[in-house]
Amino acid sequence: MPEDRRPRPTLYSQIDVSHNAYGAQANFHPGPAAEIVGLLRELLAAQDRQNELLEELVNQVGANQRQRANELGQWKQANPGLARACRTAAEALGRVQTEYLLSLTREINENCEALCDGEFMLNEFVDRFGPRLAHLNGLLQVLSQLSSTPNPTTPSGST
């Protein structure tokens, strides 16, 4: 029969009756403070891991943005005339957008009560102005990104 070399639990436990018996027992049975310290350590370890993951995420997103900015810069260098034309078009379209927003706000101010009271009027207003405004904003964004000078509304380095 093979011999089992694992230590076997003893049937009887030893009791320390020396003057330091209370201190030894306190170490044997952790109190609520020790449990709280353990939980805080676990929380700290989890927070450290979460910080590491966030750093990786920021690095990944930053790398993608840097690559995109680099590619956009290369496109602008390869197409300087088109980039200048995009800038001119963006400025002109910005003026068109300003006029459009003026007519939109005028319409809102003149028909505020009807828009508030009637769902039909509100739906008509949104159908009339919403899609055009969304498309206009999208066009302006594209033209601004492709323009030869950075868009003043975006932070430097992100164009």
pLDDT digits (tens, 9 = 90+) for 12-28: 555 555 665 455 454 55
Same domain assignment for residues 86 and 68: no
Same domain assignment for residues 98 and 120: yes
104 neighbors 133 (Cβ within 8 angstroms):
yes
Q: Residues 21-64: pLDDT tens digits?
A: 455 454 555 678 888 999 999 999 999 999 999 999 999 999 99
Same domain assignment for residues 72 and 91: no
Count of structural domains, the chain: 2
Q: Confirm whether 16 is domain-assigned.
A: no
Same domain assignment for residues 68 and 96: no
What lies within 8 Å, CB to CB, of 16 at 6+ separation is: 24
Q: Confirm whether 25 is domain-assigned.
A: no
121 neighbors 113 (Cβ within 8 angstroms):
no
Query: How far, in Å, CA of 28 to CA of 157, rounded?
Result: 59
Computed from CA positions of residues 95, 101, 102, 107, in that sequence, does the dihedral angle turn out positive or negative? positive
- Residue 28, pLDDT score: 54
Same domain assignment for residues 87 and 138: yes
Q: Which domain holds residue 142?
A: 80-152
Q: Confirm whether 139 is domain-assigned.
A: yes
Decide: residue 111, CB within 10 A, 0-12 exposed, 13-18 middle, 19+ buried: middle
Q: Residues 64-83: pLDDT tens digits?
A: 999 989 999 999 999 999 99
pTM over 0.85: no
Comparing C-alpha atoms, which of 39, 73, 47, 59 is closest to residue 146? 73
Q: Confirm whether 57 is domain-assigned.
A: yes
